[in-house]
Each structure stands twice: as structure tokens, then as C-alpha cells.
Amino acid sequence: MPRRLVRSAAVVLVLACAGCGSVGSSVEYGIILQDRYDLQTCTELKNTQNSLAGREKDLVEQIKKAEETTQGVVFGGMAYRSELMQTRGQIRFAARSAHDKGCDAPAASAPPKR
């Protein structure tokens, strides 16, 4: 019985936190300065995009690893999801800046809609 109660509580907590995660890109605009990458050169933007892509991959792997346990779903969501959302927003803004400057952006990155 206690194990079932713990799992039920974890599911309720995850669902409650899911509402915060569904806010989407509007949070990115509040967290990230949109013109952060406007002063970077094309070479700097490319390096930034590569670094951010690596960070995104690391965060996704950490979230998957954390979700292997019941408690990890809760703690992984709290610890990594907001950082992943922020990193994805940075990727979009760097891609937008690269696109605006006519730089060769990586194929996986698409500029955000304004």
C-alpha cells in the first residue's frame, strides 16, 4: 500500500508540474534576452549553436536517465526541464540571429516566428 501511495503522489505532482511546463515559448521570451546574439559574428554564432546543441543533448539524456525511477520523474522534471526549455529558447534565438545575418545555420535549427 505505501508504495502505491508514493507512486500516486508522484503522478499527481508530475501532473501539477506539467501545467508549468506547458507554458511554452512565452516563458522563453521572458527568460532569454532576444537580442543576446545580435552582436555575435557568424563564427561565434556557429560555435554558440554547436555548444547549445551539445547542452540540449546532455539535458535530454539526464532527463531520460532520471525518469527511469518513480522519484526521478519528479526530481528530473524539477531539475532539468526548465534548463532544457531555456536552452531550446537560446537555440532558437541564436538561429534567428544567424538567419537574419545570412550565416550558414545548422540544418536542425530553424529561426523562430516573430
The dihedral region occupied by 38, where left means phi > 0, alpha psi between -120 and 50, and beta the remainder, is: alpha
State the pLDDT at residue 53: 96
* Helix, strand and coil in the chain, % to nearest 5: 75, 0, 25
Reply yes or no on whether the pLDDT at 108 is more than 70.
Answer: no
Within 8 A by CB and 6+ apart from 84, the residues are 56, 59, 60, 63
95, 112 Cβ separation under 8 angstroms:
yes
Residue 81 region by backbone torsions, left for phi larger than 0, else alpha for psi between -120 and 50, else beta: alpha
**Residue 19 reports pLDDT greater than 90:** no
Q: pLDDT tens digit string along 56-83? A: 999 999 988 888 887 777 777 777 888 9
The overall pTM is greater than 0.75: no
Domain ranges of the chain: 2-101
pLDDT of residue 80: 86
- In degrees, rounded to 5, the angle at the alpha carbon of residue 12 between the alpha carbons of residues 6 and 14 is 100
d(CA 47, CA 76): 28
Q: Which pLDDT value is given to residue 73?
A: 75
| Residue 104 or 65, more confident | 65
